[in-house]
Chain A
Amino acid sequence: MINALGRPQTVLLLGGTSDIALALARSWAHEPGLYVVLAARPGPRRDAAAAELEQLGCVVEPIDFEATDTARHPALIESVASGRDIDVAVVAFGVLGDEERAWQDHETAVHLAEVNYVAPVSVGVCLAERLRRQGHGVIVALSSVAGERVRRSNFAYGASKAGMDGFYLGLGEALRGSGARVLVVRPGFVHTKMTAGRDAAPLSVSAEQVASAVTKAVASGDDLIWVPAAMRGVMSGLRHVPRSLFRRLPI
């Protein structure tokens, strides 16, 4: 159960090797004995993540998760939830990749859409069904400001995030009154392995900053946040910039 101060006892990280997801797990690991299900592709990254969280006093259960294998998702969520309630589920997997390839190479484009949009819908449906039945729980969906106004420089990624953002906002509405909640998180540029080697955009943040904003939002029962909070104003401005001008902005 999530307690009165917003601390969960069990978290499911879908994309369990994501830097942001792991920062989140670390900040909740203050709670001794936090149970973390690391749903991720097997490999050294997952092993390292499990070892680190165990070091912090978490009980870690790694399970194999491939985002594009949507047929397996229902059984996977069911098996996680059969042992214990899912207090918080973090939808953290995602790919960015080479933006120019992402609209010119057919395979890359389809794969990106599958991982960033189809797979979140797939796990979202399974999680919603489960959380409704247990009468409580929070789904944290890692969206992006890139989806808020899709721009030329990364529109394949941005469009996939726009889709998942809309789906999870709607899911939150649909779940009202069920005890289950959805928190949509829109970070700006976050320094993680996804963005390694790229020039940081203005207002960039660390994975820890995202984690700290998310833990607060989960405790407060928020349903939509920007990280940093100032991004909200920036994006609100950008949304209204005419296309002709938007095109020429250096973003």
Chain B
Amino acid sequence: MAEPATDVVLTGWGRTAPTAASLRRADASGVARLLRDAGPRGLIARGLGRSYGDPAQNAGGDVLAPLPGWIDEPGPDGSVRVSAGTSLHDLMRHLLPRGRFVPVTPGTRYVSVGGAIAADVHGKGHHVTGSFGEQVVSLDLVLPDGTTRTVGPDTDPELYWATVGGMGLTGVIVAAVLRTIPVESGYLTVTTQRLPDLDAVLREMAEGDARFGYSVAWIDTEARGRSLGRSVLSRGDHARRDQLSGRAARDPLALPRAPRLTVPLTPPTSLVTAATVRAFNELWFRKAPRWRSDELQDVSAFFHPLDGVAGWNRLYGPRGFVQYQFAVPEAHADVVRRILERLAADRHPTFLAVLKRFGPGSPGWLSFPRAGWTLAVDTPARPDLADLLAGLDEQVVAAGGRVYLAKDARLRPEIVDAMYPRASDFRELRARLDPQRRLQSDLARRLHL
């Protein structure tokens, strides 16, 4: 079933580059029809719009709203069948009382299962569980010609690994079977460390991450010179029942809740300025303990600290913001250093950067994670960033690294193949699978995917 279309102007989470599309609502049974009827500008599926740039936009074409969410009972092996429109928020609330948890969660739980597969998202546990696509048993994909195929890493590896990370361009995912992991509580035991500089945090992660299921560091991007890369490293594991005490013992599930605060409107100019950022970063670093172990944090506090404030992206004002996230091989920590130096020198206000050490990447053709370091930085979208970031792209590529498409809003098409060696295979597959180009997005147009 499909409902009538409405005209909408859409952006990604960064609120840059708005374009107009007609928003279609349908359930899984209506998707084939929408694809077959798609006009010359095609259709793209949208999840919860948490990608920063333009992958879930389709100027002048159709955008499919998230399919109605539903979650089946987990099977005996813990796997669970869900609609692609289900949010990880709802999925966690469903699973926790059953003693299960998602194996991969990004830094926000307001993403859809479809979006998590299409971007092959990673979480703090990447060094242990890999990316989202590696925890999917199978998915139901409506192809551009309207036929539905169930594909998995074993049944149709080519189509599967093109779809995982494929940014919605191989078909519309309508349902998926996901693995889950057993947990005893909705809490984590967390070890927090304050580290004085980049070398210290890199060393600590390389040597100690294996002892934890989850690990991520927040870098103070305002620190320069000897303090460059000073950070707070936060690592943890799911807490067993017998590790809970106090409030946590009384409410061991601590189901994640809706945001408590909302940014009600967009301020006329960005509140993220050099001054506010410096003050915030300083305060945040000072407040962190030098060392604290076995602290209990609930799922929201540990995995999704930003989800507490709805619409925080509005704080960047009407021009919006971009996130630059890149990954480089283990041996190229020097690129992380140079990029931190460059950002600090240029005085672009950047909140805390997030540093993570990835485990081996997945076979996804356009998947982002690869073994090594990844750094993510948010900054207001100013036109003078264009050349700066293009320069960083060159350094990343020279080190054999790449920029994350789910965060990107400004890459140039010529550089994509150097970052994603299978981009040409991806284009060929699309030409075969979708000769009429029923699937299109602003990202695909911009990057010639």
Contacts and interface: CB of A to CB of B under 8 A. Distances in A.
Interface string B313-328: 0000011101000000
A177 B6 CA distance: 12
Given A4-B320, A133-B60, A177 B446 contact: no
A9 B397 CA distance: 22
B187 to A, nearest CB: 38
Interface in B311-369: 318-320, 322
Interface string B278-321: 00000000000000000000000000000000000000001110
Contacts of A30: 386-387
A185 to B, nearest CB: 16
Contact of B409 (A4, A85, A133, A215): A4
Given A4-B322, A135-B20, 19 more contacts: A1-B17, A1-B19, A1-B59, A1-B446, A3-B386, A4-B14, A4-B53, A5-B410, A7-B383, A7-B410, A31-B412, A85-B59, A134-B60, A135-B60, A136-B442, A179-B59, A215-B383, A220-B383, A221-B319
A225 interface: no
Contacts of A215: 383
Interface SS, B side: loop
A74 interface: no
A2 B59 contact: no
B98 interface: no
Interface in A22-43: 30-33
Contact of A3 (B61, B318, B409): B409
B179 to A, nearest CB: 35
Interface of A: 1-7, 9, 30-33, 85, 132-136, 177-180, 215-216, 219-221
Contact of B19 (A6, A33, A136): A136
Given A1-B442, A5-B381, A215-B383, A177 B410 contact: no
B383 A179 contact: no
Given A135-B61, A136-B59, A5 B382 contact: yes
A33 B414 contact: yes
Given A1-B59, A1-B442, A6-B383, A134 B41 contact: yes
Interface residues on B, range: 35 or more
A32 B445 contact: no
B382 to A, nearest CB: 7
B20 A177 contact: yes
Contacts, number: 92
B383 A3 contact: no
A3 B11 CA distance: 11
A132 B19 CA distance: 10
A222 to B, nearest CB: 10
Interface string B166-185: 00000000000000000000
26 contacts: A1-B442, A3-B16, A3-B386, A3-B410, A4-B14, A4-B16, A5-B16, A5-B382, A5-B383, A6-B383, A7-B383, A7-B386, A9-B446, A30-B387, A31-B412, A33-B412, A133-B60, A135-B20, A135-B58, A135-B59, A135-B60, A136-B18, A177-B7, A179-B9, A179-B19, A216-B383
B190 interface: no
A240 to B, nearest CB: 27
A215 B386 CA distance: 12
Nearest to B445: A1
A135 B414 contact: no
Contacts of A179: 9, 18-21, 59-60
B385 interface: yes
Max chain B C-beta neighbours (<10 A), residue from A32, A132, A134, A220: A134
A14 B413 CA distance: 26
Contacts of A136: 17-20, 59-60, 442
A213 to B, nearest CB: 12
A2 B17 contact: yes
Contacts of B60: 132-136, 179
Contact of B21 (A6, A135, A216): A135
Closest 5 CB pairs of A and B: A179-B20, A135-B60, A4-B409, A4-B16, A135-B59
A85 B20 CA distance: 14
Nearest to B52: A4
A18 to B, nearest CB: 22
A132 B7 CA distance: 12
Nearest to A176: B9
